[in-house]
Structure 1
Amino acid sequence: MVMIKNFLEAIDKANNIVLSTHSFPDADGIGAEISLCLALKEKGKNAICCNDEPLLERYKYLDPKNVVHSVDVMEEVYPHQPDLVIVVDTNTILRTGKKFKEYYDKYNCDILYIDHHPCKEKYVDQHCIDTSKAATGQLVGELIQEGLKLAFTKDMALPLYTAILIDTSSFRYPTVTASTHELIAKLMATGIEPPAAYNGIYGTKKIEHMHLLGHVLSSANVNKSEEIAWITLKKEDIRHYDIDIEDTHAFINNLLILDEVKVACMFRDDGDMVKISMRSSGEYDVGAIAIALGGGGHSHSAATVIKKTDKDTLQDIVCDIISQIERELENASIV
């Protein structure tokens, strides 16, 4: 298998290995880098995780061995020249953040991407890219088993379980397959308890989170056919309710419970730009729609960013984008 060959060739010739993920990381990127780092350490590699910024408090329980550090402290905690950088959950160094890119440029060592997002065709042959996987965590789990030939420890298993749980929105996306659940079974065999794992990532919200969710859902709308639903979120709302922006990503999933809805959108107004997140109930490819709008992503989950002009209002952008999505759905093929 080309992917495992690429993986083993990269790590076999490296001892000092630095792992990273995209800036503003989610549980998939964090879980994947932590688990793989622990596995590489078990194989005798001098491995460490280095991200653009320190690990958020909410994710620290996934890292009991304290393998994740920020660029700012790398000279102190890891005074070694890396032989290899492994970037998970993205396939471009630009998405790792300004500080980490500067760190990488300083050493200009070999780099390996491990990811399940669409990428340049040449990367598939050179890196570990598989867009059929439900999460980067699933991809990493298979590399640990089939490439490194390691059994999971509980410290490896919890980050991977959480990565897959989050990136599949609790196993609801069409990319979830029998092999996903087979991997989950092996992770659970280490002693992971699903209720505790679920509550660790989802059960830590404050009442302000619920108030903001209610406020945002009150903006819910559907188009005439009721196939498209959307909500809006403004920067001042996040500030008013004192909520971390990371806690708002799942708001959009509430729209998918509506009976006729095929595509859900969340418009997040950040001031000079609007981020548009899209989710599919499974029938239409929102990744293709996002590409048509200048963004990208998966068939079930995608996003794009629209720059605002002085004349643009959020409502103008919403109306324009919904009209464009309606046209795309008219011409779209069903997944």
Structure 2
Amino acid sequence: MTPDVRDEARRADRPARAESRDEGGGGPRSAIAEADWDRALRLISAADEVALSCHVTPDGDALGSMLAVGFALRSLGKRVAASFGDRHFAVPRLLRFLPGQDLLVPPEEFPAEPALMITFDSSTFERLGLLRANTAAAREVIVVDHHPSNEGFGTLSLIDSTAAATAVLAEQLIYRLGGRLDRDIATCLYAGLVTDTGSFRHSSTTPAVHQMAARLVATGLRTDEIARELWDRSPFSYLKVLAGALERVMLEDGLVWTYVTRVDRAAYGLPYSEVEGIIDIVRRTDEAEVAVVLKEDDQGAWQVSTRSKGAVDVGAVCVALGGGGHHNAAGYTSHDSVEETMAAFRRELGKA
């Protein structure tokens, strides 16, 4: 990185950290101490190989952040193995446009006992899926995340709950490593940024978020193409499954909810990853403050997605039920029936 670019990176980092505060102003600055950043850089510098992981069924922020840092590490001469712990290892269709997928290896080829492992956007150890054993056996584990429910399951935490996306922290790490933005890295980071800010609609969208977006777009991104891949494409079978979910949707006392079974999906050959966006349709309901969608995965567990319009902290509700997330967007896993799952959710919602 040339001195002028390095200086600009430092300048860009300062406002990002200053703007990383609550909407009302006066919230805490970045929770990551400089000593922790420095230790992370020392660990990475000393490593010949770095193992990267993100949470199962990765979204744009998880996979984008991991691949962006993977690019930077490879440019530094590091060997990189990146993965996520899904039993049926496959990049979700919506994210197959992301560059850097040659860095990916299936869980069975991931280093069994990494000397250095970095996790991205995983709020809990359990969210690493099949890679939990690899994580437990790693000598050093750097946790990079922005979920407020993350208590730090690694040996070093780079966690900032005020960051709009894990991609924000990934960009800072890249700059601190002496890397620079190119179009491939920027594409990965931009996918993470727009995914977790709801295309800049969520309250986490600060001036610093737009400044970061400007840096990424300046590399030559086609933002229209990225938006089309993320939000404007779906197989016809998705419409059929969506129709079923909307047919059974329920509205009750400020709560709107529905569910999608694996039988629904199997009838049209629709993979689980394709139903992630149903929550964003259900949550539009004017009469509801909270939206919930239960999605049965291929193993028969219910993956529960929740959204709030601000008055209710669904993150706290989901933490109480064994999950995690943010104030307005969170989730958890249930192994009970639909009726039992919703009964438990209503009880915790009442407390919130």
User: Given the two structures, how large is their TM-score scaled by the length of structure 2?
Assistant: 0.80
Return closer, same or farther for 1:120/1:49 CA change in 2, 3 Å cut-off.
Answer: closer
Partner of 2:7: none
Match of 2:314 among 270, 280, 286: 286
Q: Does 1:186 align with 2:215?
A: yes
Task: Calculate percent identity across the aligned residue pairs.
Answer: 26
Of residues 146, 164, 171 in structure 1, which corresponds to 2:200? 171
Q: Sort the Cα spacing of 1:239 and 1:187 in 2 relative to 1 into closer, same or farther, 3 A.
A: same
Alignment equivalent of 1:23, drawn from 38, 56, 76:
56
1:135 to 143, 165, 172: 165
Distance 1:126 1:316 in 2: 37
Give the aligned partner of residue 67 of structure 1: 103
Give 1:305's aligned residue. Answer: 333
Name 1:327's counterpart in structure 2. 350
Quick one: which amino acid aligns to residue 207 of structure 1?
F
Change (3 A) 1:64 1:126: closer
Q: Which moved more, 1:10-19 or 1:40-49?
A: 40-49
Deviation at 1:23, TM superposition (A): 2.4
Q: Does structure 2 conserve the Cα–Cα contact (< 8 Å) formed by 1:152 and 1:187? A: yes
Per mean C-alpha deviation after superposition, the further-off stretch among 17-26 and 184-193 is 17-26
Residue 196 (structure 1) aligned with residue 225 (structure 2): yes
Q: Which residue of 1 aligns with 2:11?
A: none
Give the length in aligned residue pairs.
Answer: 315
Q: Is the 8 A contact 2:283 2:291 kept in 1?
A: yes
Kept after mapping to 1: 8 A contact 2:242/2:278: yes
CA shift digits 1:151-210 (9 cap, x unpaired): 211010111111122223322222222211211111111111111011122333111111
Aligned partner of 1:267 in structure 2 is 294
Give yes or no for contact 1:16–1:81 (8 Å, CA) kept in 2.
Answer: no
C-alpha distance in structure 2 between counterparts of 1:289 and 1:57, whole Å: 28
Report the counterpart of residue 140 of structure 2 in structure 1.
110
Q: Cα–Cα, structure 1 residues 30 and 37, in superposed 2: closer, same or farther, change >3 Å?
A: same
Q: Does the 8 Å CA contact 2:58/2:92 hold for their aligned counterparts? A: no
Contact 2:56–2:127 at 8 Å: present in 1 too? yes
Give the conservation status (yes or no) of the 8 Å contact 1:165–1:171. yes
Q: Residues 123 and 129 of structure 1 are in contact (CA less than 8 Å); yes or no, is this contact kept in structure 2?
A: no
Residue of structure 2 equivalent to 1:154 = 183
Structure 1 residue 69: Cα displacement: 1.6
Change (3 A) 1:307 1:73: closer
C-alpha contact 2:140 2:155 (8 A) present in aligned 1: no
- Residues in 2 aligned to 1:50 and 1:305: alpha-carbon distance in whole angstroms: 21
TM-score with structure 1 length normalisation?
0.83
Asked if 1:34 corresponds to 2:34, the answer is: no
Distance 1:326 1:51 in 2: 31
Gaps of 5+ in 2: 1-32
Structure 1 pair 175–6 and aligned structure 2 pair: CA distance change class (3 A)? farther
Q: Deviations over 1:14-64 (max 9, x none)?
A: 221111112222222111111001112223323332333544262333135
1:216 Cα deviation after fit: 0.9
Question: Which letter maps to 2:91?
Answer: L
How far apart are the structure 2 equivalents of 1:61 and 1:166? Answer: 14
1:8 match: 41
Tell me, yes or no, if the aligned pair for 1:267 and 1:275 is still in contact at 8 Å. Answer: yes
Q: CA deviation at 1:290?
A: 1.6
> In the alignment, is residue 238 of structure 1 matched against residue 276 of structure 2?
no
TM-aligned CA deviation for residue 306 of structure 1: 3.0
The residue matched to 2:102 in structure 1 has which SS? coil
* Preserved CA contact (<8 Å) 1:223 1:229: yes
Give the RMSD, CA atoms, in angstroms: 2.7
- Report the AA paired with residue 62 of structure 1: L
SS of alignment partner, residue 97 of structure 1 = helix
Match of 2:85 in 1: 52
- Could you tell me how far 1:124 is from its partner in structure 2? 9.5
Structure-2 separation of matches of 1:327 and 1:119: 20
1:183 aligns to what SS in structure 2? helix
Deviation at 1:89, TM superposition (A): 1.2
Moved more, 116-125 or 258-267: 116-125
Equivalent position amino acid for 1:118 in 2: P
Kindly provide the CA deviation profile for residues 194-231 of structure 1, in whole angstroms up to 9, marking residues without a partner as x: 1101112233311111121122112222113xx21111
CA shift, 1:104, in A, is 4.7
